[in-house]
Amino acid sequence: MHPVRLLLALLASASLSATAASLNLGLYQTVTVAGQSTLKKVDTAQPGQTLRQVAVAQTDKPLNTPRATLPVPANTTYAGRLELPKGASATFSLDGQAFSPQPLKTVIVTENGRSITRQVPAPTSEYRAVRVTFGAMQVNTPYTVAYDIRVN
């Protein structure tokens, strides 16, 4: 198969809700050398490969509860293992617009011969964005968010 080019431009839609803050994104592969696991920055990946998306937020003035919206890049699937800084929380989106701790999707099921519409929890593989709400951010302190994505 042809390598899938993972351009950081795909990540350019990530945003932090405060102008005094910066958000740096990177894609990494877990590499094990001599029994030690480390993250190695990647520019390309193969379908089926699992990568670690890492975002580091920092501010030059104190902020109370800023939010960062991090996309799940095109041609990838959210694969979990979310790590948040202390005091932060996350919500997820199926469309990049509406966010919830556990997004719901509408399905039609047949019960007793009738079609019924139900709201059910969406599988994590359908998540398209992660919104992180930080606690108070201190000046010049890095706040790291990380989660896995799988290349389609």
Per-domain boundaries in the chain: 4-151
The pTM of this model reads 0.82
> What are the tokens at 123?
């599988």
Query: What's the CA dihedral at 89, 125, 109, 119 to 10 degrees?
Result: 10
pLDDT of residue 10: 38
Separation CA 42–CA 19 (nearest Å):
28
Instruction: Tell me the CATH number of domain 4-151, given options 1.20.1260, 2.60.40, 1.20.1420, 1.10.3470.
Output: 2.60.40
- When mean pLDDT is compared across 38-47, 93-102, 142-151, the lowest value belongs to 38-47
pLDDT of residue 21: 79
Over residues 74-122, the pLDDT tens digits come to 999 999 999 999 999 999 999 999 999 999 999 999 999 999 999 999 9
- For 115, the 3-state DSSP assignment is strand
